[in-house]
Amino acid sequence: MKKALIVLWLLIIFGCIGYIFWYTDWKYSLPTPVPKDYHAVAAGAYVALDGKLRVAHDKPVFIHFFNPDCPCSRFNIPYFKSLEKKYRDKIAFAIVVLNNRAYTAGQIQDKFDMDIPVSFDSSIAAACGVYSTPQAVLLDADRHLYYRGNYNKSRYCTDTRTNFAQMAIDSLFHNSYRPVFSAYALKAYGCQLPACTQ
């Protein structure tokens, strides 16, 4: 009888752990709810940074919208670093932190092990039409929105066959047509911004 109770408790515990993993995976596979007050920003629209990011004025700008408390954002760090390493001579990279907790630019730079501009100005997200993290925004050299969306299809940013952000960068530099992406690229998946309401 005692062994049966122990086995039953172990089954319940492992069942609960399995449910938590399943629920978390399911939750992050759903699109991020669009906030009620959301204003979409169309591709090609001018994005006024107005000195909010200290980036080169003669290069396209790649903005990484990041939340240190978002699991998707944390898993995305290596992929963002690889993009910055590959394109740093052609693109001005920056990070915009969207989080209610107090972080410093130095803490974020240490987390990424990168010395690039960091901003905490949430108005940049609104100007780019971003309401979820992680999100990538690519502005051309004239500050027009070229791409806003996901890094790739996987929430852990590991699906190299769907590197949407890199495809957008390559398209911009090859002066080819703007790529047409699926909902996996353009519909936000990940963590809601702290100020958003469901």
CATH at residue 159:
3.40.30.10
Distance CA(173)–CA(189), nearest Å, equals: 26
Domain shared by 181 and 122, yes or no: yes
Say how many CA atoms lie within 13 Å of 3 toward its Cβ. Answer: 0
Give the pLDDT of residue 181.
81
Ranges of residues in the chain with a pLDDT under 50 are 196-198
Domain shared by 78 and 26, yes or no: no
Domain shared by 94 and 173, yes or no: yes
Give the pLDDT of residue 177.
66
Give the pLDDT of residue 24.
63
Domain shared by 137 and 70, yes or no: yes
Give the pLDDT of residue 29.
64
Q: Which domain holds residue 119?
A: 61-192
DSSP-derived pairing of the beta strands 132-133 and 118-119: unpaired
Q: How many domains does the chain have?
A: 2
Domain shared by 65 and 10, yes or no: no
Give the pLDDT of residue 90.
94
Residue 50 belongs to a domain? no
Residue 51 belongs to a domain? no
Say how many CA atoms lie within 13 Å of 89 toward its Cβ. Answer: 1
Q: How far is CA 169 from CA 10, 92, 142, in A?
A: 50, 12, 15
